[in-house]
Amino acid sequence: MPFSDYKTALVTGASTGMGAAIVERFCREGLEVHALARNAERLNELAARTGCIPHAIDVCDLPAVTRLTQDVQFDIVVNNAGISTKGSILDAAAADIDLQVEVNLQAVLHIVRLTMPGMVARDRGHIVNISSIAGIYNFNGNSIYAATKAGIHALSRQLRVDATGRRVRVTEICPGRVATDIFGHVHGDIEAARKQFIDGFELPLPSDIADAIAFAIAAPLAVNISNMEILPTLQVPGGLTTIKRDPADHNE
């Protein structure tokens, strides 16, 4: 279905990184793009640059999100907002669990609940969920984040079942490392994280993710691109670790 068959789009986590790039890409396609994020200043800058409609709303503010979805009939929804905290479940605080589940999974469920029934009724629409290779492959740390993104992976497949027989398409975008500031937000030092995780690496840019989403949306109506795993060419996920312990190394 070409972009011309859609009129409105909602993008969450829209103020920076992949979210801002998706907003820019959609605006170039002529959509009425509603950009949702907490940072009003950055949203206003994005609006001035692209013509999008800014909404300084926390994605977890259910009453505000509900009002927006009641006011606007969305043809495309991109669930991009996400958050991660450093460390595994072994050193996680209760607040780490609650926040990530609320932002990464619960908010997505609510937004889909509020927008997908209208798409099904109109027999037209596209939901794009941003997951992560963290939800598919195991590696050290970020246990809670991985669990929430695994939930998004399962949800994305289930939504296609829920919309069986209707022309509502669902695409899961599953990125590896992308050149954004998410690592700085996790570690608390954007410059140090950029040096550790971004500088010197050949990585996809946020605009590359936006272009991939545009490709999925612009596919013919009979085509649903259900999952796209997008990694740097030089990044290999997975691996197998086996630990050999000294028999004397045990707790009584």
Active-site residue, 145 included: yes
DSSP letter (8 states) at residue 132: -
Of the candidates 145, 151, 169, 217, the residue annotated as catalytic is 145
Residues facing residue 54 across a β-bridge: 35
Query: How is residue 76 annotated by DSSP?
Result: E
- Write the DSSP symbol of residue 27: H
Give the distance, in angstroms, between the CA of residue 191 and the centroid of all CA atoms in the same chain.
23
For the chain, list the strands marked E by DSSP.
8-12, 32-37, 53-56, 76-79, 125-130, 168-175, 227-230
Place of tokens 């969305």: 74
State the Cα torsion 106-50-32-166 to the nearest 10°.
-50
Backbone angles phi and psi of 76, in degrees to 5 = -130, 135
Catalytic residue IDs = 145
